[in-house]
Amino acid sequence: MNGSTRRVRPGKQSPDRIITNERIEMAKTEKTFETIPVGTNVTWHYRSAIGHGTVIGVHEIGTTADNTMYNVRQHDHHPGEPAILHHSGKALSVVKS
């Protein structure tokens, strides 16, 4: 065997397989949940207050809508606070108009 190829024994049930320096594609699963759409007005609890904002995008996709992280632009942020926050879907409540 040359330096770019190696033999791997993944387990007793599996036959030997050859791994090369080529990229190995992993199986991709499609998300089976709906994320909060961009432009949706949301609220969240922070200490004894309620924050208000608008979803401007997904920060990090999770495995469920609850553990997906969203970018939210605050409507009522105070000096010293960031204008854009990251919140999990579980922390956000969609504002019903």
30-76: per-residue pLDDT in tens?
Answer: 668 899 999 999 999 988 889 999 999 999 999 998 999 999 999 98
- The pTM of the full predicted model, rounded to 2 decimals, is 0.65
pLDDT of residue 97: 73
Mean pLDDT, residues 77-82: 86
Confidence band of 24 (pLDDT split at 50, 70, 90): low
The Cα 53–Cα 42 span in angstroms is 6
Question: Is the confidence at residue 25, as pLDDT, over 80?
Answer: no
* Residue 75 · residue 84 · CB < 8 Å: no
pLDDT of residue 14: 43
Report domain extents, the chain. Answer: 41-94
∠ CA 56-66-74, rounded to 5°: 30
